[in-house]
Amino acid sequence: EAEVAQSPRYKITEKSQAVAFWCDPISGHATLYWYRQILGQGPELLVQFQDESVVDDSQLPKDRFSAERLKGVDSTLKIQPAELGDSAMYLCASSFGQGVGLAGYNEQFFGPGTRLTVL
């Protein structure tokens, strides 16, 4: 069964260090999402890609966060420098998502997440 892969599963870092998370979506899924989930809350969308293009990064703290999906397949999310408040679960999801404005249901498939702890 196809799955969304993420690595690492767990990351402990000190504040001011750089961290990077990797995501490999389900083959054929054009849309890729990065979410941040703080304990006890629902996922918060950070960035959405359609193929290699950013569709929405309005909630991405661009002074320290960056995301790329160079070949429209796998993706990397980076934080530089990490802050204490960045401790959270970082989730990657993918979907077929053929574009904005089309009617219909679009299931998002989630990876296992990367749990980040900033000390």
Partner 1 sequence: QKEVEQDPGPLSVPEGAIVSLNCTYSNSAFQYFMWYRQYSRKGPELLMYTYSSGNKEDGRFTAQVDKSSKYISLFIRDSQPSDSATYLCAKQRSNYQLIWGAGTKLIIKP
Write out the residues near partner 1 by the rule CB under 8 A: 4, 31, 40-45, 48, 55-56, 91, 93, 95, 97, 100-101, 103, 105-113, 115
d(CA 89, CA 73): 22
C-beta of 43 vs 75, nearer to partner 1: 43
C-beta of 70 vs 100, nearer to partner 1: 100
Minimum distance, C-beta of residue 32 to partner 1, in the bound complex (Å): 12
d(CA 100, CA 41): 27
Of 24, 112, 21, 99, nearest in space to 67 by CA: 21
